[in-house]
């Protein structure tokens, strides 16, 4: 069964997509950029601050469904500049407990609203089991 997830704990969608969709025991969180949910504007700051905001957005969306960052099984990280990888990785590593989720990180030509980082996520529901 497919269920749409929408919350004020994450920024509104900036296009025709849902913040997240639950399918079975999985939660698929759309790519999040460093939008402040209160203002719907990209935050000021360097890649560390922006990565932190992105991960806070993801956490808020997962919490709306009763899940958490500890249930994340896969992430895809899109960076505007691969030279930001080390700084992004520093923040990412603090957020995810060991063992971390599977992940891909790639450099892209451009991101929505000229963001520096975008992360999409797949998580299990809190009580998800094999």
Q: Could you tell me the pTM of the whole model?
A: 0.94
Residue 20, burial from CB neighbour count under 10 angstroms (0-12, 13-18, 19+): buried
What is the spatial distance between Cα 41 and Cα 36, in angstroms, rounded to a whole number? Answer: 6
The predicted-structure confidence for 74-124, as pLDDT tens digits, reads as follows: 999 999 999 999 999 999 999 997 899 999 999 999 999 999 999 999 999
Alpha-carbon gap, residue 85 to 83, rounded angstroms: 5
In the CATH scheme, what is the homologous superfamily, with its name and number, of domain 2-124?
A: RutC-like (3.30.1330.40)
Q: Where are the domains of the chain?
A: 2-124
pLDDT tens for each residue of 43-88: 999 999 999 999 999 999 999 999 999 999 999 999 999 999 999 9
């Amino acid at each position: 069964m497919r269920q749409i997830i929408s919350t004020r704990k994450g920024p509104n969608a900036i296009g025709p997509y849902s913040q997240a969709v639950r399918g079975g025991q999985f939660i698929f969180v759309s790519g999040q950029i460093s939008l402040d949910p209160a203002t719907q504007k990209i935050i000021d700051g360097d890649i560390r601050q922006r990565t932190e905001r992105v991960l806070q957005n993801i956490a808020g969306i997962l919490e709306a469904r009763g899940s958490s960052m500890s249930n994340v099984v896969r992430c895809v990280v899109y960076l505007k500049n691969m030279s930001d990888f080390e700084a992004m990785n520093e923040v990412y590593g603090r957020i995810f407990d060991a063992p971390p989720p599977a992940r891909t990180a790639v450099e892209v030509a451009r991101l929505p609203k000229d963001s520096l980082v975008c992360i999409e996520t797949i998580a299990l529901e809190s009580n998800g089991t094999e």
